[in-house]
Amino acid sequence: MPASVPNPSASDRVDPAHTPLTALPGVGARVAEKLAARDLHNLQDLWLLLPRQYEDRTALTPIRVLQPGLTAQVEGRVEAVERGFRYRPMLRVAISDGSQGTLVLRFFHFRAAQVAQFTPGARLRAYGTPRPGQHGLEMVHPSYRILGADDAAELSEGLDPVYPAIEGIGPATLRKLIGQALDHLPDEQALELLPQAWLQERKLPGLRDALRIMHRPPKDADVAALLAGTHPAQRRLALEELLAHHLSLRRQRIALQAHAATPLRGGTLADKLRKALPFALTGAQERVYAQVREDLAKAMPMLRLVQGDVGSGKTVVAALAALLAIENGRQAALMAPTELLAEQHLNNLRAWLEPLGVRIAWLAGKVAGRARETALASVAGGEAQLVVGTHALMQEGVVFRDLALAIVDEQHRFGVHQRLALRDKGGEDGRVPHQLVMTATPIPRTLAMAAYADLDVSAIDELPPGRTPVQTVVLSGERRPELVERIRAACAEGRQAYWVCTIIDESDEVIAQAAQATFEALSKALPALRVGFVHGRMKARDKQAAMIAFKSGELDLLVATTVIEVGVDVPNASLMIVENAERLGLAQLHQLRGRVGRGSAASTCVLLYQPPLSMMAKQRLETMRQTNDGFVIAEKDLELRGPGELLGTRQTGLAAFRVADLARDADLLPFVHRVAERLLQESPQLADRLVDRWIGSAARYAAA
């Protein structure tokens, strides 16, 4: 580490960073509690509570020159007020400003006191985004302020920060509190944790300056950059935040790997399976299996994520790994997110492993009574060599005799906390199981770097030979009738089809109703076919029964909501129709499409859309039409909508970013990656302070 790393102990005799918020005037026990509920405990937490966006109230725009879609601030007098009740209560306030323009402010929620304020002639200032209305432009729910006669109503000097909402604390109060906290910002020396050289090289400001620019943008600040999130102040904070997150994940990994694990060597059993399989492993499977073997041979727990598109053949790799544990006289467990998927694994693994003499136990919610007791006893006693079940395996107080390898399918539904819980499932000798995590949601390389810094990542980036790529067709919803014919033709050839109904932004109830209507219409239009129906509001048992009927060929057509998204394998299904495909994200469309094209027959996926298409939707559908490659789609997805949704953020903790945006700041990651290792080795205390600053109690919780 360069010698310029500041020495904290010299200057922070009084440590403002950790001063509790109750030290601020106006923060009593009640307010402190509300802040604490959002993990805001000390001054430092408020310094780092960064604006979500900015509002530009530095100028007034004459009403006449307002442009639809362009946010602006206006000032005018109330001309007319109208209260209506068409479909719901509504308040319309017309204002004008002498620029010969009229603007309507429209409210759907309002209180009587508010209505009383809008007396004709009253002067007010409003800030919002105009859009075309019935009578010229209107702003819906603008923020506004009534101006008194002697109100000087000065304009803002710089951009106004907009902070995340905190329940029970109004925006004005919050702004005031943050302002007070900022008054206690120590000087740069005491505050800065990053070496000067890093910052100078990248022309980034120090922390103190960066915080002040973000919270109180000066008059001459680069507004466009701030609004776009690319201002050097934001980049600087993003750099520090990404580094802190990375360090925190690396530390978790180091802590876990400080435990011992059983080295799993050999491979005779695994070779037997390979010989018995009706296919040869693909090059990608060989490569990943070799990586896994190398990890397992160590006396340190493996922490590896295997990414592989649907159908890339992850299960075989998992089975080979399990055999290594079994050959060494230890147990392996395989967990899936749903019973249906767990059962699918069970069937595959039984077919592959039982001929080799492997004893498999099955533990799922529906295994009850005597069967369950027997299964639990065989797991605890060690007769069961492989245990297959849902993720609940980890929480149900299942006791293993000798668990040496835990395999988790569909990582994005499996949290860091659960991963840590595995630590405690090892043997009595304090050994921790190796962990193999498999996911079918490809994540762009840059993101994987940030999201899984605690895991090693491998990719099975090749499909088994002989698969015909799914052909994707994008059609307007008007062409729906043609598709009925297409289904009839496919099923006449002995194939099966899916019809997927999607309605986003509606309750499950509404989706179920719409899907029900489609189900009835299709059943009527295709009387010769056996049509099934699954939706999210069905009982798990009924849902599963329908899926199993489809899988076993008792149904020709399955009408479904997006519940079929994950992992169901029906090789004979070769046609999928997705309604309202424009409403789904790329990752979801790709997952859905992965349900077909699993057999040798040429498959088709028809994406029906309702015109008009937004630019984004058009790009998504076009991407789907052009490629079947999950990694390409993931990159495009990242570009189109950013990383948050991509990762199903809650579990990964990535939603917690305050300023960093993985799509925008991805270029910082290689640097973060590089310096994090050095920091951990050479300046562990500095690493601690960075993690404490940005992640604080959340990290303490995760490590507990």
Footprint of ligand ADP (CB under 6 A): 279, 281-282, 285, 308, 310-316, 440, 464, 569
Nearer to ligand ADP, 569 or 692 (CB): 569
- 180: which 2 tokens? 């007070």
700's tokens: 């303490």
Residues 496, 499: Cα–Cα separation, whole Å? 10
For the bound state, the minimum distance from the C-beta of residue 341 to ligand ADP, rounded and expressed in Å, comes to: 9
Return phi, psi of residue 672, to 5°: -55, -45
Nearer to ligand ADP, 215 or 314 (CB): 314
Residue 495 vs residues 58, 487, 520, 576: alpha-carbon distances, Å: 64, 9, 21, 11
**C-alpha distances out from residue 556 to 132, 469, 552, 600, Å:** 49, 22, 10, 18
Task: Tell me how far, at minimum, the Cβ of 302 lies from ligand ADP, in Å.
Answer: 19
Burial class (CB in 10 A: 0-12, 13-18, 19+), 209: middle
Q: Which is nearer to ligand ADP, 350 or 530 (CB)?
A: 350
Q: Which is nearer to ligand ADP, 596 or 686 (CB)?
A: 596
Backbone angles phi, psi at 142, to 5 degrees: -70, 160
CB of 310 to ligand ADP, least distance (A): 4
Phi, psi angles (nearest 5°) of residue 207: -65, -40
Q: Nearest distance from residue 270's CB to ligand ADP, in Å?
A: 14
Q: Which is nearer to ligand ADP, 102 or 315 (CB)?
A: 315
Q: How far is the CB of 332 from ligand ADP (least distance, A)?
A: 16
Report which residue's Cβ sits closest to ligand ADP: 313
Question: Which residue, 623, 613, 575, 605, is CA-closest to 476?
Answer: 613
Closest CB to ligand ADP among 314 and 620? 314
User: At its nearest, how many Å lie between ligand ADP and the CB of residue 636?
Assistant: 21
* Nearer residue to ligand ADP within complex by CB, 267 or 644: 267
Minimum distance, C-beta of residue 590 to ligand ADP, in the bound complex (Å):
12
Tokens at 480, concatenated? 């729906």
Closest by CA to 621, choosing from 593, 663, 662, is 593
Residues 526/488, Cβ–Cβ less than 8 Å: yes
Do you know the residue count of the chain?
704
Q: At closest approach, how far in Å is the CB of 314 from ligand ADP?
A: 4
Between 310 and 474, name the residue whose CB sits nearer to ligand ADP.
Answer: 310
Secondary element (H or E) of residue 54: strand 53-55
Q: Give the residue with the Cβ less far from ligand ADP, 274 or 431.
A: 274
Of 158, 179, 162, 181, the C-alpha closest to 171 is: 162
Q: Compute CA distances 337 → 109, 313, 342, 393, 421, whole Å.
A: 41, 18, 7, 10, 16
Give 316 or 547: the residue with its C-beta nearer to ligand ADP: 316
Give the shortest CB-33-to-ligand ADP separation in angstroms.
47
Q: How far is the CB of 285 from ligand ADP (least distance, A)?
A: 6
Residue 281 or 514: the one with the smaller Cβ distance to ligand ADP is: 281
Angle ∠(54,44,416) on CA atoms, nearest 5: 90
Q: Smallest gap, in angstroms, from Cβ of residue 565 to ligand ADP?
A: 13
Question: Tokens representing 624?
Answer: 């789907």
Query: Is the Cβ of residue 252 or residue 282 nearer to ligand ADP in the bound state?
Result: 282
Whether the Cβ atoms of residue 48 and residue 181 lie closer than 8 Å to each other: no
Distance CA 451, CA 281 (A): 29
Q: How far is the CB of 278 from ligand ADP (least distance, A)?
A: 8
Core vs surface per residue 366-386: b (16+ CB within 10 A) or e? ebeeeebeebbebbeeeebbb
Q: Are strands 53-55 and 160-162 parallel, antiparallel or unpaired?
A: antiparallel
